[in-house]
Amino acid sequence: MNTFKKLSLSLMLATSILLPFGTVPTQAAPITGAYGEVRTTAKAVVTVDATIKEVRGYDEDREHQHLLVDDIRVQEIENGSADDIPNRAFVSIRIDEQGTEKEIPNLRAGAPIEIKGEFIPEEEAYETPHNCCDAVIHFTHDPLGYVRYDGTLYR
């Protein structure tokens, strides 16, 4: 047996012994996002307390309520670091049957709000009529997130 084959077999044997069964030493498995996009890394999911800075209304289909929040305090973060979360973010709350199923009443500037959702850094967020340049928190509904406002939990 030539040297290359011996080395290859030795490497395969060593790998099979050192790695637990069922694992594959490759990049992360693809993740399918809520809109069908495929990515290989999970986005950060944040739970934050914040203050509503502006109520920015609805998207054109009235499927989302839009807010700008500031004074963000990170309670919990998955797949990221609290240091990466800015003090201000645009929030998109889906209010149709695929989201919280109803709008959140009486949203007002200056009020406290608790939000859990997927975080998109400013440099990855795309511009919309209600958000030109801020980081975004979205998917603020089941199965990922929620909004707690005025003592009511919206999932």
Question: CB-based burial of residue 74 (10 Å sphere; 0-12 exposed, 13-18 middle, 19+ buried)?
Answer: middle
How many angstroms separate the most distant Cα atoms in the chain? 78
How is domain 38-154 classified at the CATH fold level? OB fold (Dihydrolipoamide Acetyltransferase, E2P) (2.40.50)
C-alpha closest to that of 139 among 69, 46, 12, 49: 46
| Average pLDDT per 10 consecutive residues for the chain, totaling 155 residues | 48 42 40 49 91 95 96 97 97 95 96 98 92 95 96 96
pTM for the structure as a whole: 0.74
Judge contact between 143 and 118, C-beta under 8 A. no
Judge contact between 69 and 113, C-beta under 8 A. yes
Question: What DSSP assignment string belongs to 29-48?
Answer: PPEE-TTS-EESSPPEEEEE
